[in-house]
């Protein structure tokens, strides 16, 4: 990796996972000075296999990221700093970031590719299964558990749609609402007609073997056998950095961007999971590439 860093980078990228690296690749190939600041905490660190990504279906995300870093590192104007950004200041053409260690960097443009955090319900054993046998996206992880016993945890207005989506992959499906269900009578009838059981007892514990779910223990003392879990975690931003510089958020709490990945703050872009509810490697890579290309165009006219 490169050592002779300039005092002022063309772009500072906060986050060095798939979207940040994709942007850096476009920028590096455009011979722009790029600094990637990353804490090396990807949200899919526990996921054994990535899916729904052409030419890489089934590969380990850690291997994909390592290859991406190797690809980007070939370009002499791309630099890396391992650390966590805790402060952002400045304006278009002169941004400054400071890490938790007190190290400062400056850049003309800023790209936030910081991802999101997964916040799970406080159920014993669930966190140990997350990314291994518990997941949110059936498009990414449904095929591998097709026709198996799936327990879906949810009790929000969009749970009914989510249950019917997961039903594509398995008829052995139960929805656990972890308390009184919010379904309408019509929705209950629909689920029952499709053979989908509704379990309203609270969940005491997820029983597992090294992250592989075996069953769920319920408040009435019974157990529900399961081979896989699906649930939609809460996904807040990992820090208050966007708010600290006046970036507008969506109703879901993500960074609001236009189709060219601009935020409402001039010179600040966002890409990947922090700026889209579509959590998929293909989406993250695509949005990062768009951001990188658009930043190059803006730098030409700066």
Do the Cβ atoms of 133 and 48 come closer than 8 Å?
no
Phi, psi of 61 (to 5 degrees): -60, -30
Query: What is the Cβ-side half-sphere exposure of residue 250, based on CA atoms within 13 angstroms?
Result: 16
C-alpha angle with apex 157: 151 to 158, nearest 5 degrees?
60
Nearest Cα to 200, choosing from 225, 177, 173? 177
The values of phi and psi at residue 90, to 5°, are 95, -170
Distance CA 33, CA 62 (A): 26
- All structural domains of the chain: 8-117+235-300 (3.50.50.60), 126-231 (3.50.50.60)
pLDDT in tens, the chain (302 residues): 455 677 899 999 999 999 999 999 999 999 999 999 999 888 888 888 889 899 999 999 899 999 999 999 999 999 999 999 999 999 999 999 999 999 999 999 999 999 999 999 999 999 999 999 999 999 999 999 999 999 999 999 999 999 999 999 999 999 999 999 999 999 999 999 999 999 999 999 999 999 999 999 999 999 999 999 999 999 999 999 999 999 999 999 999 999 999 999 999 999 999 999 999 999 999 999 999 999 999 999 87
Phi-psi category of residue 275: left, alpha or beta, with phi > 0 → left and psi -120 to 50 → alpha: alpha
Predicted local distance difference test score (pLDDT) of residue 1: 45
The set of residues, in sequence order, having a beta carbon less than 8 Å from that of 8 and lying 6+ positions away, is 33, 94, 106, 107, 108
pLDDT of residue 48: 87
């Amino acid at each position: 990796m490169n050592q002779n860093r300039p005092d002022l980078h063309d772009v500072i990228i906060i986050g060095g996972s798939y979207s940040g690296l994709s942007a850096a690749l476009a920028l590096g190939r455009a011979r722009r000075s790029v600094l990637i600041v990353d804490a090396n905490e990807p949200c899919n660190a526990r996921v054994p296999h990535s899916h729904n990504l052409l030419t890489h279906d089934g590969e380990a995300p850690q291997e994909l990221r390592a290859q991406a870093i190797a690809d980007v590192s070939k370009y002499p104007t791309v630099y890396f700093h391992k650390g966590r950004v805790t402060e952002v200041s400045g304006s278009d053409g002169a941004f400054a970031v400071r890490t938790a260690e007190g190290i400062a960097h400056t850049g003309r443009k800023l790209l936030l590719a910081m991802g999101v955090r997964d916040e799970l319900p406080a159920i014993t054993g669930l966190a140990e299964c997350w990314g291994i046998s518990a997941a949110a996206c059936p498009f990414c992880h449904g095929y591998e558990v097709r026709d198996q016993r799936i327990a879906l945890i949810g009790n929000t207005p969009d749970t009914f749609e989510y249950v019917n989506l997961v039903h594509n992959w398995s008829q052995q499906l139960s929805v656990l609402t972890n308390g009184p269900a919010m379904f309408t009578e019509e929705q209950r009838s629909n689920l029952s007609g499709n053979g989908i059981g509704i379990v309203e007892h609270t969940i005491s514990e997820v029983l597992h073997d090294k992250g592989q779910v075996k069953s769920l223990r319920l408040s009435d003392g019974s157990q529900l056998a399961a081979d896989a879990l699906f649930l939609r975690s809460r996904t807040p931003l990992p820090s208050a950095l966007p708010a600290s510089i006046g970036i507008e958020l969506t109703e879901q709490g993500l960074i609001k961007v236009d189709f060219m990945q601009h935020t409402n703050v001039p010179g600040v872009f966002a890409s990947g999971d922090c700026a889209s509810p579509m959590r998929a490697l293909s989406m993250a890579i695509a949005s990062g590439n768009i951001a990188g290309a658009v930043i190059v165009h803006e730098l030409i006219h700066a």
